[in-house]
Homo-oligomer: A and B are copies of this chain.
Amino acid sequence: MTRRSTLRTARNQPQQPRSRATVSVILEAAIRVLEQDGWDALTTSRVAEVAGVSVGTLYQYFAHREAIVEALQNRELERASEMLERLLKSPEPKSDRELARAVVEALFGLYKAAPALHRVLAVDGLRLAPPETVVAFDARSVGLVKAFLTVASARLRPMSLEAAAFVIYQSVRASMLAYFLESPAGVNDDVIVDELTELTVRYLTT
């Protein structure tokens, strides 16, 4: 399967500042379109218009429509990964419950900042061009969780670390996302954080 290259990099030199700026403008525009009008409004011309550049310019930086979403995805996945890594590898000693809560809260913050974006990344991103990207990111996150579980295994219940990491990662992520998407009755910000913390602690520790 030949995969089209996605970012159009200037032939060689370290991207000019102007270029960088334009790429940014376009991505921000894409987010705005997404947040305001949803996935189906994310047409190349709409994004260009909102970004205040011409379609041509957009295509100077993104090989095709999907490349825009891909770029957004990568940016966001990167942020989430970093957050996870930072917290899980933090040297400050915390109780397991404190750590679980910290992770849940950090994720909460990420999603709350741009719920529509995450909705799209989770929902549409999954069906988009490179399913590998999402799978790979999930694998990477699960890997981080698993690494942590391995270190902490003494304090945990006996279990398949692979599976446990996978399950807790998916559970927390999906519940959080669904919370933002569905605003379920009887659940609020505090409660969801509490419950997901509880879920994590109870599922993993003895």
Contact = CB atoms under 8 A, between A and B. Distances in A.
Interface string A69-113: 000000000000000000000000000000000000000000000
Interface residues of A, number: 43
B123 A127 contact: yes
A39 B170 contact: no
Given A166-B178, A170-B175, 5 more contacts: A163-B186, A163-B187, A166-B179, A167-B199, A174-B175
A159 B196 CA distance: 12
**Copies of the chain in the assembly:** 4
Contacts of A178: 138, 166, 170, 174
Interface of A: 11, 39, 49, 123-124, 126-127, 131, 135, 138-139, 142, 159-160, 162-164, 166-168, 170-175, 178-179, 181-182, 184-187, 191-192, 194-196, 198-199, 202-203
7 contacts: A142-B184, A159-B195, A160-B191, A162-B185, A162-B187, A174-B178, A198-B203
Contact of A126 (B162, B181, B186, B202): B181
A179 B172 CA distance: 15
